[in-house]
Structures are given as C-alpha cells and as structure tokens.
Structure 1
Amino acid sequence: MAVQFAAKGHQVTGADTDPRVVAEVNAATTPFPGEEQLAERLAEVVSAGRLTATTDTTEAVAGAEAVVVVVPLFVDDRGTPDFRAMDAATRAVAAGLRPGALVSYETTLPVGTTRDRFAPMLQEGSRLLPERDFSLVFSPERVFTGRVFTDLRRYPKLVGGIGPASAKDGVRFYEAVLDFDARSDLPRPNGVWDLGTAEAAELAKLAETTYRDVNIALANRFARFADRSGIDIEAVIEACNTQPYSHLHRPGIAVGGHCIPVYPRMYLWNDPGAELVRAARETNEAMPAHVVDLLADAYGDLDGAEVLVLGAAYRGGVKETAFSGVFPTVEALRARGARPYVTDPLYEPGELADMGLRPHTGQPVTAAVVQADHDAYRRLCADQLPTVRVLVDGRRITDPALWAGVRRVVVGDGAGR
C-alpha cells in the first residue's frame, strides 16, 4: 500500500517496529518474497525519494496529513482479541497526531472498535476531538497476498467514518491514492464506497471473510459425506456452480492465513450466539486430523511410520505459515505415533527447524501428505519419492498419472472414509 500511495505522487513514510524491515525498505529491498510487481515498484519509488521508512512512528505521524494503520490483530484460543500491538500503535499515532489529519484503520477489527476503543485513545493521546479536529475512518484491506496491486484496483474500497466529515475525508484520500478497474458486475461504479458508518465497514470485512469460512466448511462436510458415499465431490461442485445461485468453494486439508482462521472468531466475539459460524470454524479446524485419518485408513497403523508432509506454507506460492495446516497435520501424525518430516520449496531446512518442524533432507519415507498447493506439486511424481506407498493429496493438486503404483487418496474423491 505504501508503494501504491507513493506511485501516485505522494510523499509516504512507512513506520514499523522491526528495524530489519525498515532497513530493507530504505534499501529498496522487499521484506518478503512473492508479491507480484513489488520489487520493481518499490525500487522506483524509493529511488525517486517518495518512500522512506522509520521506526519512529510518532515522528512520522507528526509530519503526515493521513495515517493508515495496518498493525496485525490476532485472537487467542478462546476468540478474545489481543489488542496490545494495536493499542501501542494507536498511542504512538496519537502522540504525533496533528489537527486536520486523517486516521484510517485498515486492520480488520471487531465491530465497534474504531469508535469505542480507538477514538477515545486517539483523543486522550492527542487532546484533539475526533470528527471535529481530525478525521477517523475504518477502511478494511480487501487484498490477496501475491496480487495486492491487482486487488487494490479490482475491488471497491470500503470506507466508514465516525461521522460525515470523517467519511468525506476518507473517501477523498482513497480516491487520491488508488486506481480502479472498470467493472460492469457491481451495483454502482467501482471506486471508493462510503458505507455510512465505521461499524458498517467493520462488519463488511468480517462478513465477507466469515462467509468464506462457512462456505469452505460446507464444502468440507460435503466432501466427507461424498467419501463415505463413493461420490467425487469435485464433479458435484462443478455441476452445482453452473447454476448462478451456487458458489460452492473447494474442500481441503486446512484453512490458513491471517484472515479466514481469525476473523470469524472476531465476529463471534461480537455475536457469541452465532452457532453456525462456530460450527464452521470447528469443521475446518478438524480437517487436518481427518486427512491423517484418511492416511491411516489407506496405510494401516501409522505407529513408527515415516511420513512426509509436503508444504509448510498456508497457501501455494506464498512464503507465510500463519495458521498453516502444517502444524495441526504434524501434530495429528505425531498423535498416531508417526514420525513426520516437512518439506517446502519456499523454505530452507533451517527455517523449518526454527518453526519446530523436522525438515526432510532425503530420509526415506513410506507415506506423504500434500498440505500446500504449490505449483511444484503438480509435477511431483512417484519416482521422486520412490519409497512412498500411500499419498494423501489434501489439495487435489497432484497428477494421478504420475503416481502409478502408489495408493493415492484425495479429499472428497469418493475413495476415502
């Protein structure tokens, strides 16, 4: 986002608590790999002097007309948000906030947080009144890792202010820093959409991500039933989705990343009686253990078995393990007495070891589980793992023609339990 804003001609300062990230940005080095167009666009805006980075958030805010907050917010095992990082960032912003500035929270938040938690905190720290002395909006990120620049153009930018003046300033800001593709499938023109209140914008982000979690959970339930019934769920989903009111997602071993495993729990924090949302989250969390059950059904007793888990990343092509299915998959294998190894084309063995995973460095294994849908696994074949006799594909990405002679099980293909 900082690069996007700078590319529109604005002077941008990125603030981060990690000195390594700050140094890399100032050196025009991408702090994370795999983001399309980022390396070249970062180099361009840094060399032009339009983007710099600092660890001094308050000083950066003091010189800013607009402040965009994207500090992560996680929830604990009980679904309670951990606001410590967000509160610290908000206090740092408040200490430097100047009259007339705009503050926009893009971090996904429980409904009511912008108005009821952060507005008073900003007021206390700055001695400025929100809506009168500065503008305050919530405007959620709606981008997919790996294609952020594309998604910033593709989807409407949602804005909700704590009042009409804040909303007007928020809309004006995002119209000045973003570009939008023309789309004919929207109820109104693509661009910046004022949702009326910060609460509506907060709910919009929770609703769209919770929808995906519930949809995936439904697909996973269908897949488990299809396995028991000898039905290939992929053919069923393809057929259903030819009807315009059906948008079934695909089943799989795990739902990972910073968004879908987290935001339904934020919604439940607001609405604890939403049993549908709770059941969906529990269904998706149970899938790694279910896939290990599929392996045990096909392989036999896993006690002492050497099993290779393919993929540490939560999603193919992304070097990120936030809430990755690799961790519960390894845990379920260990609970069965197996000895799990992990490999991933994006991670070095030492990086895997640092995450508490046993890296695969050529040890013979007799079973394998595909956890991440890396493109490399589309070409993976039995000859590359000659001692494997059972492969469980949790992502339906491997080519069955390349696994002749190996028992291959796919989630929802009708051959499993």
Structure 2
Amino acid sequence: MRICVVALGKIGLPLAVQFAAKGHRVTGADTDARVVEHVNQGLEPFPGEEGLAERLAEAVGAGTLRATTDTTEAVAEAEAVVVVVPLFVDDRGTPDFRAMDAATRAVAAGLRPGALVSYETTLPVGTTRERWAPLLREGSGLLPERDFSLVFSPERVLTGRVFADLRRYPKLVGGIGPASAKDGVRFYEAVLDFDPRTDLARPNGVWDLGSAEAAELAKLAETTYRDVNIALANQFARFADRAGVDAEAVIDACNTQPYSHIHHPGIAVGGHCIPVYPRMYLWNDPGAEVVAAARRTNEAMPAHAVDLLADAYGDLEGAEVVVLGAAYRGAVKETAFSGVFPTVAALRERGARAYVSDPMFAPHELADMGLRPHTGQPVTAAVVQADHPAYRTLSADHLPSVRVLVDGRRVTDPALWAGVRRVVIGDGAGRGGRRSPGRSAVRA
C-alpha cells in the first residue's frame, strides 16, 4: 500500500516506520521542516524511543519511507491516511481543534476515491462522525462510507516503548459504517505485528468496536480509569499518613486479591494522556462527578508534597530546595504536564528558593522551561518528583547539606539517607501520623 502518516511526532513517526517495515511505501507529512529534514536523512528528530533510530535509518535507506511538508500532495498519492496530529485542551477541558481542522482540510484537498482515513488522535466522543466527516466531505467532494472509508483507531502506546506496545495490545477500530470498519480492520491487519503470546481470553489483533463513537469512548475510558484509580490511591495515602499506616503495604496486600487493581500513590500525574483525557471526557459528560473529583485530587498532590516538606522542615521562607526530576515520569525526556511545575510553584508560594535537577536535561534546557537549574548550589531540602532509575542510588552524600528529603515516588533507598529526615507520601509517618511498630511496605 501507499500510506500517508500526518504528523511525525512521538507517535506518528514510529507508526510510519512500523508501516514501512511491513513493506508498504510510506510518506510522512509534517508542518515542521526541521523534522522533515531529519527524517529524510534517516535521523530521529527526538531521542528516547527504543529502536526508532535503527528502524528509521533502515526504512529511509530502503526507500520505503520519506517525509514532506506538503500534506495534500502526500495524501493524493495514498490509499490510506493515518492522522496523528495532537489535540490540545485548555484548563477547563475545552478542545482546541484548530491544528486538527487545518490538517483535515489538507487531507480533504488531496483525498482520492476508495481511500481510507483513520484518526488516531484521542478525541471527544462523536468527533469523527460529526466534525471530521463533514470537513472531509466538504473539502473533497467525496461522500464518507460511500466514496471513502473513515475510522477512528486510538493509539494505545507509551512513548519510549511504542514498537513493543503496538505488538502487545489489541488494535481498536470503529468505523462510521460497516464498509469503513471492514477497510479499517483490513488496513491494520496489514501494517501491524501482534505478539502470539497473549491471553487467550483477550487475544490481541484488530478489534472492530462497532462504531467510531465506541472506539473514541474506549480511549477516554481507559485513560480516565487510570486517573480515577490513581486519585483513589492518593486519597488512601493521605489518610494513611494521618492514621499511621503504610499505604503501599496495604495496596500491595489488596492487590493479591484478583478483583483489586489499585495503583500506587505519588506526587503528580503527568504526561500527554492521563491529565488531559479525563478533561476531554468531562467535556462530553460534565456531570461526571467522580471524574472531576479525581482530577482535583491528583492536581492537589504537588502542593500536598510541599505541605509534607513544611511539616518536617518548618517554615520554608528562604529555604533552598532542589526538586529532583523535571520529567513527568522516570527515564523519559518529556515534561508534558509534569509535576515539576506545580511543585516549584508551591515552593515559591511558601517563600522557598526552588532549584531543579534532572539527569536527562541540561541546565540550559531547564532554564528554557522557566526553571532554575541546580548546578551544585547548597540546598537544605529536596523533593523527588520523577522516578528516574538514577535516584535509586542517590544518597545524602550527593546533597550533603540536605536536612529533609520528601520522596514523592518512593524511589530512594532509605539506607542511603541516614541522618536525613526522609518523608514518603503515604508511608504513615507524614502529616502527624505515627507508623505502627513493625509495619513496612512489601512490594513485589
């Protein structure tokens, strides 16, 4: 097949490489000329995606993948078009469709009869049928479902492990009609590989969910579930601190029962998905009180971590504090909705001087994000915000002036922090709690 992938970001580019690896001729379209230049040279435009550098170079070298800034021209040559343009929402969850509208109009201008258009960007329920179908029809003069196929198929991968996740999980597809769904299933069966070692009760492969709306809701539901689950774990942790109980030990015990799948508490929920898609769901369903309450709970955790620091340290006015980790999660060089920003803001509100350190970011990169880089200045307190593997061996010797450490991810080794007041969210010792003797966390 001739395939066009619209937007060569951290999901779109690995998808284009995957399709090319299956022997298809792929053109990636992107508005960023720098990205296009890198791709055409066989060079990854961003670091951190396992296997991408090698696979990209191989696909470009084999002539099965190229890039362009002309979306319409690329679509005119394609039998299948996959759109992965990001959709942003504001603090109230209102989607900003401008970038996707522009991309859709560019697709429509080049759309050919018989082609398939698949949207993989997470969308509010109803968007594929009610917004994209009319725009494509208006711009192409073609009728969806009759002259071309239109489906929604959510991406279900994490950056850093896209290729592995593409093999691991079922690919969900929902069409605006049966003909579209059939073409969508056929397309993804031809471009993806699936790991045969799977749960026989829930085999992977391509699943037709029956409608575009069902597929749209599936993506919002699975990410919103995670946000609600994490909020519940955070609520348990805050209570456990008051009750003198180790929440992690309780959660691990609960999860030995097959009907309990409680996540673990932490200082923040970040990334492109979990903080964003619950807001998008609320845009569809504003009366969902459980979802709204969970979002508020998780948004309050960075300030709660700073409260824990103040309880252990005392007045933070003038205190020199380093926040360890700018990334939203460990081993990923990405700061989308990272907890570092509200943590730094909460420290500044209390009069502290906040520095930031991260093994994946150079000092000038932190400064470019409005953060004050830590370059060896003496600090008397530290807050762990990201669970980078390097922090497992971090010790008091690395920060000799620190009196209090708040570990927001339970990643540090307590044996390496002798002589420092170490506070962990939900360990039963914070916020006035007193852990019962003999109780400690037991994690698998």
TM-score, normalised by the number of residues in structure 2: 0.93
- Within 2, Cα distance between the matches of 1:359 and 1:405? 26
2:381 maps to 1:367: yes
Q: Please tell me whether the aligned partners of residues 241 and 248 of structure 1 are also in contact (alpha carbons under 8 angstroms).
A: yes
> What is the aligned partner in structure 2 of residue 77 from structure 1?
91
Distance 1:53 1:303 in 2: 53
Q: What secondary structure sits across from 1:384 in the alignment? A: coil
Task: Determine helix, strand or coil for the equivalent of 1:89.
Answer: helix
| Equivalent position of 1:130 in the other structure | 144
- SS of 2:397 mapped into structure 1: helix
Distance in structure 2 (CA, Å) of the matches to 1:351 and 1:392: 24
* In structure 1, distance between residues paired with 2:250 and 2:117: 47
Give the match for residue 391 of structure 1.
Answer: 405
Provide Cα deviations, 1:343-386, integer angstroms capped at 9, x if missing partner. 11111111111110001111111000000111011110100000
Q: Separation in 1 of the partners of 2:136 and 2:212?
A: 15
Q: How many residues are paired up?
A: 417
Map Cα deviations across residues 323-347 of structure 1 (whole Å, 9 max, x no partner): 0000000000000000000011111
Q: How far did residue 81 of structure 1 move? A: 0.6
Ranges in structure 2 where 5+ consecutive residues have no aligned partner = 1-14, 432-444
For residue 309 of structure 1, the aligned residue among 298, 319, 323 is 323
- Which runs of structure 2 are paired with 1:316-355 in the superposition (5 Å)? 316-355=330-369
The runs of 4+ residues in structure 1 deviating greater than 3 Å are 186-189
The one of 154, 157, 181 equivalent to 1:140 is: 154
Report SS of the residue matched to 2:251.
Answer: helix
Residue identity opposite 1:233 in structure 2: A
Equivalent residues in 2 for 1:3-402, closer than 5 Å:
3-402=17-416
Distance 1:245 1:32, change over 3 A: same
Q: Distance in 1 between matches of 2:390 and 2:333?
A: 14
| SS at structure 1 position matched to 2:238 | helix
Give 1:19 deviation, angstroms: 1.1
**CA displacement at 1:187 relative to structure 2:** 3.4
User: Which residue matches 1:411?
Assistant: 425
The equivalent of 2:439 in structure 1 is: none
SS of alignment partner, residue 252 of structure 2: helix
Letter in 1 for 2:274: I
Equivalent position amino acid for 2:322 in 1: L
- Secondary structure, counterpart of 1:12 in structure 2: strand
CA distance in 2, matches of 1:105, 1:333: 41
Distance 2:275 2:203 in 1: 31
**For 1:266, what is the secondary structure of its paired residue?**
helix
Identity rate of aligned residues, in percent? 87
Assess if the C-alpha contact under 8 Å between 1:26 and 1:46 holds in 2. Answer: yes
Corresponding letter in the other structure for 2:26: V
Give the RMSD, CA atoms, in angstroms.
0.8
Question: Match of 2:11?
Answer: none
The offset of 1:189, in angstroms, is 3.2
- Give the deviation of 1:185 after TM superposition: 2.5
Instruction: Tell me how far apart the structure 2 counterparts of residues 225 and 186 of structure 1 sit (CA, whole Å).
Output: 39
Q: Given that residues 183 and 190 in structure 1 are in contact (C-alpha distance below 8 angstroms), is that contact kept between their aligned partners in structure 2?
A: no
Instruction: Please report how far the alpha carbon of residue 21 of structure 1 lies from its aligned counterpart in structure 2 after TM superposition.
Output: 1.0
Following superposition, the deviation at residue 188 of structure 1 comes to: 4.8
User: Which residue identity lines up with residue 2 of structure 1 in the other structure?
Assistant: A
Deviation, 1:233, is 0.7
What amino acid is aligned across from residue 285 of structure 2 in structure 1? D
CA contact (8 A) 1:64 1:101 kept: yes
CA distance in 2, matches of 1:56, 1:364: 52
User: Aligned partners of 2:165 and 2:222: how far apart in 1?
Assistant: 15
Q: Is the partner of 1:104 in helix, strand or coil?
A: strand
Which residue identity lines up with residue 9 of structure 1 in the other structure? G
- Which stretches in structure 1 are left out of the alignment for 5+ residues? none
1:227/1:188 CA distance change after superposition, 3 Å = closer
Bigger mean CA deviation after superposition, 385-394 or 185-194: 185-194
2:126 and 2:103 map into 1 onto residues whose CA distance is: 18
Distance 1:235 1:88 in 2: 50
Once residues 88 and 266 of structure 2 are traced to their aligned partners in structure 1, the CA distance between those partners, rounded to angstroms, is: 23
1:183, CA displacement in angstroms?
4.4
TM-score (norm 1): 0.99
Instruction: Rate the CA distance shift 1:188–1:283 in 2: closer, same or farther, 3 A.
Output: closer
Tell me the secondary structure at the aligned position of residue 383 of structure 1: coil
| CA deviation after TM superposition for structure 1 residue 61, in Å | 0.6
